[in-house]
Chains A and B, each alone.
Chain A
Amino acid sequence: MPLIRVCREDELAVGEARKLAVSPPIAVFHADDGWFALDDTCTHGQASLCEGFIDGATIECPLHMAQFCLKTGAALTPPADKPVAAYAVVIEGGDVFVDCPR
């Protein structure tokens, strides 16, 4: 699958995220434990998870506080009950890439 370049490793501080304009969009998160990528759209509402709050290994939806596991995309708390897809992140030569199926 193609690797899509996201940014340089030092471009996003811990706690920040960036949205990849693929369809549907993917959010890439820089968390305490490293880099993660999930589908950007919350499975509950229509919120963009890259605008959410990164707390440890979870991302909290900016609208209604559903939490998803950054590693697996699992829905951890209501109101979401469906997971978001998770993607592998690859760091190469100081650049961040997502292994993207689309």
Chain B
Amino acid sequence: MSLPILIVGASAAGVSAARTLRANGFDGQIVLIDADPTLPYERPPLSKRMLEEAQVGAADFPLLTADQAQALRLDLRLGQRVERLDANALTLTLEGGATLAGQAVLLATGGRARRLPLPGADLAGVHVIRSFADAAALRVEVSQAQAVAVIGGGLIGTEAAVAIARTGKRVTWIDGAEKPLAHIFPTAIADHLVAAHLAAGLTLRVGARIKQFVASGGRVAGVELEDGEVVPADVVVLGVGMAPEDGLARAAGLDVSNGVHVDQAQRTSAPGLFAAGDVAAFIDEASGLRKRHEHWRAAEAQGAAAARAMMGLPLTPPAVPWFWSDQGAHHVEMAGHRTGDAVARAGGKGPIVFELDGDRLACVASVNEPNAVRIGLRLIQAGRPVDRAALVDPASDLRALLKVPA
């Protein structure tokens, strides 16, 4: 009997790989291992719905139900940590000493939330959001909090700040940059979102340098900034990015630098070993730089690509990068690569911004106008010249741009 395919990590990338293997007729054993004891769940709701609704649990946003795992004939090993990877033998050593041998191994280990190397960052009441358990613990503490501070002007920080404020709590949103979200989105999009969140009651501190977390009675009581201000907070959320969980690969001697190096087929530097999702560092075609995509759709696509590569199936063309963020009633999406050559289209329910690379569309982003992004995404994929005036003119039909010129 042939050896199983071993998948380490049962989140978006790992589960997508398992599904893709079965969808393409792989009939062998698939072992799906995760240190998290909870049945596989979607992570996007952890910084949104999970924080807003007291009764919601992981079973309300399943990634893979027990029935589905059974139907896919997955050997699901939850709550089991992989201690060691042998890249030559393609074996995994589990916590407790059991060893599994595979015909191929997928590392879909994701990442861990960064904490801050500052005094008090480990105090009770200082939280990160990565796992269901993280979000559940945060939600309990928030429900009893007087004042909450959320640190970070990226997607997780913003989503968490907005979600917690929607439960009626006083939230101070602290960012080291001069404008939250501006490192991600075109200016018009970031401005629109930040203005909306301030109007909804968030208090914002920008350009903030955090000195330390101050304690009272053994738990956090506030965030002290370098300028002397102490933002009172009995619960603090750190939304300051993630680090790839690449320790297994590093110890096994694979090429690793801020993520496990992979090629277009998600192959690592060792034969039979693949990586996908937040942990995988690929060469970005647009910039030539090694990057990781910390987004749901990228993880899902990379997991599927790894599965196809394991089965010797041809590569599918790389998808245009796309992600969403739900911030209260604001649904923001962006597709493509930023260029900075931005034009705005008026007349939408929210801002729509296109960025061009010469006469080609390179990037599109919107708030509450997802179909503009879906059209833009297809225009980017097509790679044809686009009419800048037609993109901007609110009276023009964006959909018509998709028609291939005769």
Contacts and interface: CB of A to CB of B under 8 A. Distances in A.
Interface of A: 15, 51-53, 55, 60, 62-65, 78-79, 81
A81 B297 contact: no
B324 A64 contact: yes
**Which residue, B16, B68, B331, B371, has most C-beta atoms of chain A within 10 A?**
B371
Contact of A63 (B19, B297, B326, B378): B326
Given A78-B16, A79-B42, A62 B371 contact: yes
Interface string B370-400: 1100110010000000000000000000010
A62 B399 contact: no
B300 interface: yes
A63 B42 contact: no
Contact of A81 (B68, B296, B371, B378): B68
B371 A78 contact: no
B331 A78 contact: no
A53 B370 contact: yes
A97 B283 CA distance: 51
Contact of A53 (B44, B324, B371): B371
Nearest to A53: B374
A78 B300 contact: yes
B324 A63 contact: yes
A63 B370 contact: yes
Q: Which 4 A-B pairs have the closest CB atoms?
A: A53-B374, A62-B370, A53-B371, A15-B399
| Secondary structure call for the A interface | loop
Contacts of B297: 65
B322 interface: yes
Nearest to B326: A63
| Secondary structure call for the B interface | helix
A43 to B, nearest CB: 12
A67 B322 CA distance: 15
Interface in B1-57: 16, 19, 42, 44
Contacts of A62: 331, 370-371
A78 B62 CA distance: 12
A78 B42 CA distance: 11
A63 B16 contact: no
A14 to B, nearest CB: 8
B371 A52 contact: yes
Contact of B374 (A60, A78, A79, A81): A60
Interface in B289-322: 296-297, 300, 322
A59 to B, nearest CB: 11
A63 B19 CA distance: 22
8 contacts: A15-B399, A52-B371, A53-B370, A53-B374, A63-B324, A63-B370, A64-B324, A78-B19
B322 A65 contact: yes
A64 to B, nearest CB: 6
B371 A63 contact: no
A62 B83 CA distance: 41
Contacts of B68: 81
Contacts of A51: 370-371
Interface string B174-196: 00000000000000000000000
Given A15-B399, A78-B300, A79-B42, A63 B331 contact: yes
Contacts of B399: 15
Nearest to A16: B399
A56 to B, nearest CB: 11
A53 B375 CA distance: 8
A53 B378 CA distance: 11
B61 to A, nearest CB: 9
Contacts of A64: 44, 296, 324
A26 to B, nearest CB: 20
Contacts of B331: 62-63
A55 B399 CA distance: 10
Contacts of A60: 374
Contacts of B324: 63-65
Contacts of B19: 78
Interface string B316-351: 000000101010000100000000000000000000
Nearest to B16: A78
A65 B335 CA distance: 12
A55 B296 CA distance: 22
